[in-house]
Amino acid sequence: MNGHEILPYLIIIPLFGAFSMPIVNLLGRKAREAWAVIITGATLAVGSALFYSVWENGILVYTLGAKSPLGQANFPIRIVWEVDLFGAIMVLMVTLVGFLAVVYSLGYMKHDTGLDKYYTLIIILELGMLGIAITGDLFNFYVFLEIMSIASYALVAFRNDTWEGIEAGIKYMFVGSIASSFILLGIALLYGQYGTLTMSYLAVKLAQNPTVTAKVALALFIAGLLFKSGASPVHMWLADAHPAAPSSISAMLSGLVIKIGGIYALTRILFSIYGHSVSMKTVGWVIIIFACITLIVGNAMAVIQNDMKRLLAYSSVGQIGYILLGLGIGLAAYGSQTGEIAMAGAIYHTFNHALMKALLSLIAGVVIHQLGTRDLNELSGLAKTMPKTTFAFLIGAAAIIGMPPLNGFASKWLIYESSAIFNPILGAIAIIGTAFCTAAYVKVLYTFFGRPNERVMKARDPEGSMLWPIIILAVAIVVMGLFPWQISDKVMIPAVKALENQLAYISAVLGGA
Amino acid sequence: MDVMGSIVYPIAGLLGLYGFVSLASLLWEGIDRKLVARMQRRVGPPLIQPFYDFLKLMSKETIVPNTANYMFRAAPVLALATAIALLAYTPMGFTPILASKGDVIVFIYLLALISFFKIVGAISSGSPYAKIGAAREATIMVSREPAMMLAIFAIMWRLGKLGVDKPFSMGIFYQHNIWEIGTPMSFVGAIILLYVFCVWLASEIEVGFFNIPDAEEEIAEGLLVEYSGRYLALLKLTKALKAYIAASLVVAIFFPWGIAGHLTGLSADVVNLLFHTLKVFILLFVVGSVFRAVTGRLKITQAVDFLWKNVFLASLVGSLLLAMEVIM
């Protein structure tokens, strides 16, 4: 299949789905739900085909409006979309988790009102994330980032009859808007200095004439995107947004939004635009410092939580620390074997954590849905009445700790190994983070498998539409865990190679010019 | 792919080892009980008493408490399965069946996983006594493993410096051993580490000072309080296998010598396995039987203090002494 032909459908399908939702909604509840599932399912099909195409044929460039981005001039004048293997992995991850979250919503959101808006927003959220992953234009990136952010503000505050939904939504929106404006300011500075918004052409201009403005813009990008990724010390919105949001949304928030809007964008800007124009070592160490703080703060705070979803939120912060650590080492040891392994570990862990955290969030949703409480002290002995759900939780928790036959092991191993080679102190910090993480999840397991209390005795495993996404994610975690090194060699290492090859990224757009 | 060499032979070897180690480890329990009885001027049970016990437990009715969840029934099976899988990575007079680069981590992981499954099974019973036992087991586990991990990584790293084809593999002990280094400093370090491993072994098989998680007088058999019938039999078998495996590790590190001499192939492995079993029995006699007969248990807080302030410290000193010539 030709990647050029299918790439636009990645945007067309969700856009069409979201805009037609109010009309389809007139046909009733069933039609609305079927429409949401069809749209996200079709997006998943396109996303998988796109991933396969990029994996086979390398970088994919698509120009909006013409055959070539160059037009009459010898520089790009049109918006380009550029998907390399890293972007394709993100596309696959977003479409997969997005589809499962929508299927899950059918059962989970049954008791809420205003669901036409809910499904519209969730498809728009997916659309924004897909746009970020495929775009090769800096302003286009900002637009998609805002689409994603605004949809997620609205979804966090979706249950606007609860005080905590409104509180978390306001908090998220205020600080999130400031972070977005940092990014917009960075883009404005770069445009004023270099006069272009195409990422690859900007990379050329930057290499020819690195200026202070570019560095200021980079600082603004890092500040804004670290916020979006939930790194410490700007992680506080995440811990509030998670418990307040519906669980299908928190699965997408911590599985996808913080990675696409934070990690992916940061990686793309640092590797593909700034490439060799700034000192990779300095930037790498800046990221590493934030990574270490994030690792320790996130995991340590997870241990002391009594609210199940808050625990998962802090655990997401902690896992973002690992990904940032891999990214930082990948930058600081740029071009060496160590840097490559670290970056592969970061990308691999991004994908794995999306699956694991989506699984755990969906399970938390099931528990809340069945029992109406998130307080871990009241959930003792859940395994008695909800065996399938708790077993899936066991798998998810073991995977996130990094136990061998599951997928979290290989990705964390790559990060441990590279950080131990790069600097043993960083390796020790990573291990300490994992010790906290283990303590946090063992605490939850200890509760789930304990003596059942009265409240728990009335609970049951959920209906099929809520159970199947959980089963699919758990199976994916186990199956990916059986072939860790094959996946790493066949997908993740090539993705890093493509990412580090800035020249290929540039010449794919500029071509013969 | 070579189907015979990579699939059939390892599976056959693992099954064979499982059969042998089950018999040997249960037999050791019989010997142990007999010897302890003699030390206390009793006659003691016959040597094959553990086999009778096992068969009797297997034939008894199994009672599952109505507060228990599915992990109560799954945990004994998973614990035994983990112990069997661990046999493939255990050095038993010859290089383990599945030895590969870095498999020491798999060994430590699986050994800890057995305890973890026991803990999960105990919690899942819903009995508060079992829960106390599980909490104690977890506490002891967290306190005892760092000393062992530090020591074994230091030893493997040091032996790796002597030149081996698979660094950090359990097969390494049959290429070089700790006494070969030969300097006085490393000799003292090795003696200190031998002490560390003996205490670790005692706490791993929970005898003497460390018979805390199942403390029958205070918390009514602790971890195993709710288990009966078949599940109890499986757990007892797992415990016996684990004692053999943990002792095998200590024997392989400190006394790896074989007596096969000019023999090769299967016969050499069988001779080495038998000789290794003898060494395991001697070690278990010293660390298990004697220690069990002459001391009582500590309080849980004392045991944790002892493991951190004494054993871990010794492990640190021993590892540093062992590593000294290389780092200086």
State the Cα–Cα distance between residues B11 and B5, nearest whole angstrom: 10
- Count of Cβ atoms closer than 10 Å to residue A468 Cβ: 15
pLDDT at position A76 over 70: yes
State the Cα–Cα distance between residues A336 and A332, nearest whole angstrom: 10
Show residues of chain B in contact with A442, CB under 8 Å: 138
Task: State which residue of chain A sits closest to B123, comparing Cα positions.
Answer: A450
Confidence of residue A513 (pLDDT cuts 50, 70, 90): very low
CB contact under 8 A, A404 and B70: no
B75, burial (CB in 10 Å: exposed 0-12, middle 13-18, buried 19+): buried
- Classify residue B61 by its DSSP letter: P
Most confident of A146-150, B12-16, B258-262: A146-150
Element (H, E) at A169: helix A163-194
State the Cα–Cα distance between residues B41 and B36, nearest whole angstrom: 9
Task: Please give the model's pTM, rounded to 2 decimal places.
Answer: 0.90
Amino acid letter for position B291 = F
* CA angle A117–A119–A121, rounded 5-degree value: 65
Give the minimum alpha-carbon distance from A492 to chain B in angstroms, rounded to a whole number. 22
Task: State which residue of chain B sits closest to A385, comparing Cα positions.
Answer: B69
Residue among A383, A442, A451 whose CB faces B71 most closely: A383
> Considering only CA atoms, which of B272, B207, B283 is closest in space to residue B249?
B283
pLDDT at position A512 over 70: no
- Classify residue A60 by its DSSP letter: E
- Structure tokens that stand for B202 in this block: 């005692």
Show residues of chain A in contact with B69, CB under 8 Å: 381, 383-384, 387, 390, 449, 452
- Classify residue B262 by its DSSP letter: T
pLDDT at position A422 over 50: yes
Q: Please list the residues that pair with A375 across neighbouring strands.
A: A307
Q: CB-based contact (8 Å) between B293 and chain A?
A: no
pLDDT at position A492 over 50: yes
**pLDDT, average across residues A339-363:** 92
Task: State which residue of chain A sits closest to B135, comparing Cα positions.
Answer: A446
Residue-averaged pLDDT of chain B: 87
Residue B1: predicted pLDDT:
56
- Structure tokens that stand for B10 in this block: 């390892």
* CA angle A281–A285–A291, rounded 5-degree value: 145
Give the minimum alpha-carbon distance from B67 to chain A in angstroms, rounded to a whole number. 6
Confidence of residue A210 (pLDDT cuts 50, 70, 90): confident
* CA angle A168–A173–A178, rounded 5-degree value: 135
pLDDT at position A157 over 60: yes
CB contact under 8 A, A451 and B126: yes
CB contact under 8 A, B67 and A451: yes
Confidence of residue B220 (pLDDT cuts 50, 70, 90): low
Half-sphere exposure of B91 (CA within 13 A, CB side): 26
* Residue B255, phi then psi, degrees to nearest 5: -130, 65
CB contact under 8 A, A383 and B70: yes
CB contact under 8 A, B67 and A404: no
Show residues of chain B in contact with A451, CB under 8 Å: 67, 126-128, 131
Give the minimum alpha-carbon distance from A186 to chain B in angstroms, rounded to a whole number. 46
pLDDT at position B217 over 60: no
State the Cα–Cα distance between residues A345 and A70, nearest whole angstrom: 36
Show residues of chain B in contact with A391, CB under 8 Å: 70
* Residue B245, phi then psi, degrees to nearest 5: -65, -45
pLDDT at position A121 over 90: yes
Show residues of chain B in contact with A384, CB under 8 Å: 67-69, 126
What are the pLDDT digits (tens) for A38-71? Answer: 999 999 999 999 999 998 888 888 888 888 888 7
Residue B210: predicted pLDDT:
86
**pLDDT, average across residues B171-192:** 84
The string of DSSP codes covering A219-288 is HHHHHHHHHHHT-TTS-HHHHHHHHHS-HHHHHHIIIIIHIIIIIIHHHIIIIIIITTTS-HHHHHHHHH
* Residue A261, phi then psi, degrees to nearest 5: -75, -20
**pLDDT, average across residues A417-430:** 89
What are the pLDDT digits (tens) for B22-31? Answer: 999 999 999 9
Q: CB-based contact (8 Å) between B69 and chain A?
A: yes
Confidence of residue B127 (pLDDT cuts 50, 70, 90): confident
Amino acid letter for position A167 = E
> Which has more pLDDT, A361 or B257?
A361
pLDDT at position B170 over 90: no
Q: Which of B64, B69, B73, B111 to mutate to test the interface with A (most CBs of A within 10 A)?
A: B69
CB contact under 8 A, B69 and A404: no
Residue B311: predicted pLDDT:
92
Give the minimum alpha-carbon distance from B109 to chain A in angstroms, rounded to a whole number. 9
**pLDDT, average across residues A426-448:** 89
What are the pLDDT digits (tens) for A256-266? Answer: 999 998 899 99
Q: Which of A35-49, A54-68, A392-406, B231-245 has the lowest mean pLDDT?
A: A54-68
**pLDDT, average across residues B277-284:** 91
State the Cα–Cα distance between residues B89 and B66, nearest whole angstrom: 38
State the Cα–Cα distance between residues A169 and B86, nearest whole angstrom: 50
Give the ipTM.
Answer: 0.85
Is-contact A46 A91, C-beta < 8 A? no
CB contact under 8 A, B67 and A387: no
* CA angle A156–A158–A159, rounded 5-degree value: 110
Q: Which of A27-31, A89-93, A215-219, A373-377 has the lowest mean pLDDT?
A: A373-377
CB contact under 8 A, B109 and A451: no
Residue A1: predicted pLDDT:
52
Give the minimum alpha-carbon distance from B241 to chain A in angstroms, rounded to a whole number. 22
Show residues of chain A in contact with B71, CB under 8 Å: 383, 449
**Among the residues of chain B, which ranges form H helices?**
3, 9-39, 49-59, 70-87, 103-124, 128-160, 184-204, 216-219, 229-254, 265-284, 291-294, 300-305, 313-327
State the Cα–Cα distance between residues B203 and B210, nearest whole angstrom: 5
Residue B226: predicted pLDDT:
83
State the Cα–Cα distance between residues A353 and A254, nearest whole angstrom: 9
pLDDT at position A403 over 90: no
Give me Rg for the CA atoms of chain A. Answer: 22
